[in-house]
Amino acid sequence: MSVENGMTMIQGGMLLSAVMSVQVIFNLLLPIMMEKYPGRRNGSILSSWQEPLRHYLFWTGDHTLMWIGAFMMGIPLGGLYSAALMLPLDETLTANGANSWTAMMQTGGCIIGGLFPFVIGFIYDSTQNHNYTMIILLVIYALAFILITIIGNKKENNFDKFIVEPSDI
């Protein structure tokens, strides 16, 4: 997308490096902050509602806005990943519940992580623009925002009731 908007391959690579650098920093900082401020839902909501803004900055094609969007994008990529890894521990009451939820997250994450780039590439190759891919991302962000409002506070949810124990089968 950056190359299509006039950046060189090196500039596009530097843009990606900026996203990854910020992601690494916040991957280390946000778990510390989450431990100090245990209300994870507010941080997740704050991070997720900004996603459309970050992608809009890329969508504009303005190089300065794309750099701002790159730095902004690294924050939730690092922070929400850490929050997602801690979610099974926060939302379940038993070790079996946490194990089951973690296995489901890892399996689903690998499947989505493997298929989504293929789907986005296929749509881009078919349409020759990123408008449809950006719309798909916005729909995914809307769904994620809904899920974040449903989960995220240990006191309100007990997801252990959805876990099927091997002895129940």
Supply the DSSP string of 35-51, one letter for each residue: HHS--HHHHHHHHHHTH
Structure-block tokens of residue 18 = 């900026």
Q: Is residue 169 part of a domain?
A: no
Range of the domain at 136: 9-156
Per-residue pLDDT band for 76 (boundaries 50, 70, 90) equals confident
Most confidently modeled range among 3-17, 21-35, 128-142:
3-17
Distance between CA 100 and CA 97 in Å, rounded? 5
Q: Is residue 47 part of a domain?
A: yes
Residues in the chain: 169
Q: Is residue 39 part of a domain?
A: yes
Q: Is residue 26 part of a domain?
A: yes
Q: How many domains does the chain have?
A: 1
Provide the 8-state DSSP code for 167.
G
Q: Is residue 129 part of a domain?
A: yes
Q: Is residue 92 part of a domain?
A: yes
Q: Is residue 21 part of a domain?
A: yes
pTM over 0.75: no
Is the pLDDT confidence value at 159 over 60?
Answer: no
Q: What is the pLDDT of residue 42?
A: 66
Distance between CA 155 and CA 169 in Å, rounded? 29
> Cβ atoms within 10 A of the Cβ of 161, count?
9
Distance between CA 80 and CA 23 in Å, rounded? 10
Is the pLDDT confidence value at 98 over 80?
Answer: yes
Q: Is residue 164 part of a domain?
A: no
Angle at 33 between CA 28 and CA 38, to 5 degrees: 130
Residues 6+ apart with CB under 8 A from 51: 76, 137, 141, 144
- Taking phi over 0 as left and psi of -120 to 50 as alpha, with beta for the rest, 98 belongs to alpha
- What percentage of the chain carries pLDDT values higher than 70? 82
Most confidently modeled range among 39-43, 77-81, 95-99:
95-99
